[in-house]
Structure 1
Amino acid sequence: MPDPANQDLPDSVLEFRLPDLGEGLTDAELVSWAVEVGDTVELNQTIAEVETAKAVVSLPSPFAGRITELLAEPGDTVAVGAPLIRIEQQRKTGPDDTVRDTGRTSVLVGYGPDHEGVSRRRATPAEPPPDVSRSIGTVDNTTTEPRPATPEPTERVAATPAARKLARELGIDLWFIAGSGPGGAVTADDVRDAVPVSSPRQAERAATAPAPTDPVGGITGPTAREVRTPISGIRKRTATAMLTSARTIPQASAFVTVDCTVSMELLDHLRGTASCAELPLTPLVLVAKAALAALTDFPGINAVWDEAGQEIVTKHSVNLGIAVATDRGLLVPNVKEAQTASLRELAREIDWLADTARAGKATPADLRGGTFTITNIGVFGVDAGVPLVNPGEAAILCLGAIRKRPWVFRDELAVRWVTTLGISFDHRIIDGELASRFLACVAALLEDPLTLLTRL
């Protein structure tokens, strides 16, 4: 049966529709086009980037041909199955001369349904990755001052094709340009405005151009007293999740201050050994291992509230979420089946996931299915916090800054490495006693990590 959407089109012109990206997602936001009308594209050439509730996804062209029409603008929310682009197909003669049914575009690789309970842990590489300093999961939070994160330029900046072309011609990095187009996309005018004012042309433009205004009449030019940023993408979906958390989960918190001097000494020792010298061993990794050990003693923490079934569902596997601050907002990729990971595997997996999230390459499978989360705010020099529980989980552990402080040790005042651990929890599932006992167990393992070694 012919596709009604294509009935008025020439036989050679086909529509590519937003494919099913998996994970039950029903729409995506168009971030940017990588092509323009009139361009010729090859099979599987990237034509656009879209952002779902889980990740940024590159869309490949399902056939080769010449682009005749772009059917959406950057910033638009496109439903699954809605047309995105029209391409005049390049037909070839021979047995392979077939036309794809774009109404049934296959699920993109890596974004289809995943089987529950199947570990996706990557094989331990023969040589560890050379740069382990970028991820929030691998930054050492033992300094007395926060270390500001330096964003890394990527190719995932939302920009119009004309802006990308002009930026290449002028040698300007799109990463450092604030976009004024739909969804914050960088436009060609934004690129021109980024040319140094010392240029005669730019100086004349800056002197004569009126200050632009925002959609509600507020000035956004050089004399503006405020900047309005459209809420979209990951930021919008994070806001929705946190609002859901605050409205639907009755939350409570508990804290404990820990002398983790022996843990810091253990990490220093392990880093100096031949087997661990190149590992991204950080306090977060040891805290994660301690938390996983404590979850085996207190499995009620690794649970979820099933509102529809009016049941508490306790998980046997721990998909350990690691909160990662990225330029696009907060992402929480998780280590699948983390309870089976060795310390070495855990270190590499946390580092890999955090780096992947920061680079904008985390897949929906990396981000879904978390059962327990750790957030490391200590890297920003913060001593303690009260994070919100992620919907679908029962608790989140918060690691504060690790600092040298005066501490009573063996009845004498001494300078020790000290940190604060906090836990926020769903009080429907977890009572204060259970949360406190779990937190005390994690603290005890960090105070005496030699007992933790028996579980590595």
Structure 2
Amino acid sequence: MSVVETFNLPDLGEGLTDAELVRWEVAVGDTVDLNQVIAEVETAKAAVELPSPFAGTVVALHAAEGDTVEVGDPFIDIDTGDGGAAGDGGAAGDGGTGDGGTGDGAEEKPAAVLVGYGVAQDSGSRRARRRPRPADPAAVDSAADVPAADIPAAVDPAVAAPPERTLAAPPVRRLARDSGVDLDEVTATGAHGDVTRDDLDRHLSDASQTAARAAEAGGTGDEERTPIRGLRRRTADAMVRSAFTAPHVTEFVDVDITPSMELLDELTAHARFADVRLTPLALVAKALLVALRTNPSLNSAWDDDAQEIVTKRYVNLGIAAATPRGLMVPVIRDAHRASLRDLAVSIADLTAAARDGTTPPSDLVGGTITITNIGVFGIDSGTPILNPGEAAILCLGAVRRRPWEWQGEIALREVTTLSLSFDHRLVDGEQGSRFLATIAELLSDPLSLIALS
């Protein structure tokens, strides 16, 4: 007897209530295996690959690429043939009916696991083998060999049978989506007929030049509209909530960090740091962690429900990173225990993963204080907005050679601007000023920083 199981969008963790469907990896009529990746979705935290909790034939897809799907809503229907749910897959999606039990002697099958949330997936079955798609959309259902009575009548045929997509690697597809580019309009030169990063860059450059020529000719040029979805929408919501909830105060200080830059040069040449990319950001992070010891109010949170200030005795340090998907803030857990070398390695690894889109959601939550480095863009200073739930964020500006008073004379020194935004409900002006001044002092005299580490 043919039984159709419905896989509902599972709880992706961290209090997330919905996700945007980035792309399907299967189509109606495809045969899927247990734990085979069927789709990629994007949450406020990261891109997540969804494995199938059932083995069988795809009967219906309940969403189109670009749709936002609520947790618990129907996501995909799979004909399991005999109705057997694989492992605990039904529970994982809240839509299966199998209990995951096995008879004596039966081979135990692994439970479906979200990529980034549990055990590693078998790379040998990550993608579905699609059947050739007929030109007539009506023929899709017959290709699945599924009785019409088993196909939910409410499913939109356009959703159940999405059109073929232009080939492109996930990073290229993600950049195209963020840039508002339809990949079907891009000339593909890849070896397999796929759109490469160079193809997309050329397309964007041509579009920019076309708009410029239109403006020079007296026209207004074309408007480009990018849907506000996924990470960018949630980041915007969080920033607005923070700006209108926490009373921000921002202070600035210029610091001669020439001694710190000289120390970095010496440490880089040391064997202990031979394989480490040591940057000023790592030293600033270390100075912040030391300064928190005497200024704990900067590592606190406001509990509105309990009307309490919660001071954290641990430090989960957020490092803001610009990525093709927008701003992300991966977190260094228990950063207060980390050595300078550990901090440098963690910063390099976390920011690289964020830019590549491989950061697991668990690395994007739980921060207690954040550092953002706008100096990498050549910017001297800014007024950063707090991450919701945190008391402070430190901003590092560009390091520049400036005329500076030194030992009674004017000399060219390495100078940067530090800016600190803090929640005035949690941090008094004096506390914030002392904290920022302590960081500046430690960077001006890095030997004291090492002695206190």
Interval containing the TM-score (normalised by the shorter chain) = 0.7 to 0.9
Aligned to 1:435: 432
In the alignment, does 2:397 pair up with 1:406?
no
For the aligned residue pairs, the C-alpha RMSD in angstroms reads 2.9
Q: When the two structures are aligned, how many residues end up with a matched partner?
A: 366
After TM superposition, the structure 1 stretch with the greater mean CA deviation from structure 2, 354-363 or 284-293, is 354-363
Aligned to 1:25: 16
After TM superposition, the structure 1 stretch with the greater mean CA deviation from structure 2, 21-30 or 299-308, is 21-30
* Residues 91/97 of structure 1: CA separation in 2 closer, same or farther (3 Å cut): farther
Amino acid at match of 1:288: A
* Residues 85/318 of structure 1: CA separation in 2 closer, same or farther (3 Å cut): same
Aligned to 2:358: 361
Output aligned runs, 1:52-201, within 5 Å: 52-89=43-80, 100=90, 102-103=93-94, 108=114, 110-111=116-117, 162-164=163-165, 166-167=166-167, 174-175=172-173, 178-179=176-177, 190-195=182-187
Output aligned runs, 1:358-437, within 5 Å: 358-437=355-434
Aligned to 2:242: 245
Q: Which has the higher contact order (CA 8 A, sep 6+)?
A: 1
* Cα deviation, residue 443, structure 1: 0.5
Aligned to 2:255: 258
* Residues 357/230 of structure 1: CA separation in 2 closer, same or farther (3 Å cut): same
Q: What is the distance in 1 between the residues matched to 2:17 and 2:170?
A: 36
CA contact (8 A) 1:290 1:452 kept: yes
* Cα deviation, residue 455, structure 1: 3.3
In the alignment, does 2:232 pair up with 1:231?
no
After TM superposition, the structure 1 stretch with the greater mean CA deviation from structure 2, 15-24 or 383-392, is 15-24
* Residues 66/100 of structure 1: CA separation in 2 closer, same or farther (3 Å cut): same
Q: What is the distance in 1 between the residues matched to 2:422 and 2:172?
A: 41
Residues 187-208 of structure 1 deviation map (CA, whole Å, 9 limit, x = unaligned): xxx44421279xxxxxxxxxxx
* Residues 296/177 of structure 1: CA separation in 2 closer, same or farther (3 Å cut): closer
Q: What is the distance in 2 between the residues matched to 1:442 and 1:291?
A: 6
CA contact (8 A) 1:305 1:392 kept: yes
Residue 66 of structure 2 aligns to a residue whose secondary structure is coil
Amino acid at match of 1:356: A
Q: What is the distance in 1 between the residues matched to 2:174 and 2:370?
A: 32
CA contact (8 A) 2:64 2:162 kept: no
Residue 77 of structure 2 aligns to a residue whose secondary structure is strand
Residue 275 of structure 1 aligns to a residue whose secondary structure is helix
User: Structure 2: where are the runs of 5+ without partners?
Assistant: 97-111, 119-160, 190-218
CA contact (8 A) 1:74 1:185 kept: no
Q: What is the distance in 1 between the residues matched to 2:250 and 2:221?
A: 41
* Cα deviation, residue 109, structure 1: 6.0
Residues 163-211 of structure 1 deviation map (CA, whole Å, 9 limit, x = unaligned): 54x426xx999449745xxx9887xxx44421279xxxxxxxxxxxxxx
Residues 375-432 of structure 1 deviation map (CA, whole Å, 9 limit, x = unaligned): 0000000000000111100110000000111111001111110000000010111111
Amino acid at match of 2:44: A
Q: What is the distance in 2 between the residues matched to 1:22 and 1:264?
A: 42
User: Structure 1: where are the runs of 5+ without partners?
Assistant: 1-9, 113-159, 198-221
CA contact (8 A) 2:302 2:310 kept: yes
Q: What is the distance in 2 between the residues matched to 1:361 and 1:56?
A: 7
* Residues 408/172 of structure 1: CA separation in 2 closer, same or farther (3 Å cut): closer
Residue 167 of structure 1 aligns to a residue whose secondary structure is coil
Amino acid at match of 2:368: T
Q: What is the distance in 1 between the residues matched to 2:81 and 2:10?
A: 21
* Residues 329/192 of structure 1: CA separation in 2 closer, same or farther (3 Å cut): closer
Percent identity of equivalent pairs: 56
CA contact (8 A) 1:305 1:313 kept: yes
CA contact (8 A) 1:324 1:354 kept: yes
* Cα deviation, residue 326, structure 1: 0.6
* Cα deviation, residue 37, structure 1: 1.3
* Cα deviation, residue 104, structure 1: 6.0
Residues 76-114 of structure 1 deviation map (CA, whole Å, 9 limit, x = unaligned): 221212111111225599xx99984552677636548xx
What TM-score do you get using the length of structure 2 for normalisation?
Answer: 0.75
Q: What is the distance in 2 between the residues matched to 1:321 and 1:99?
A: 34
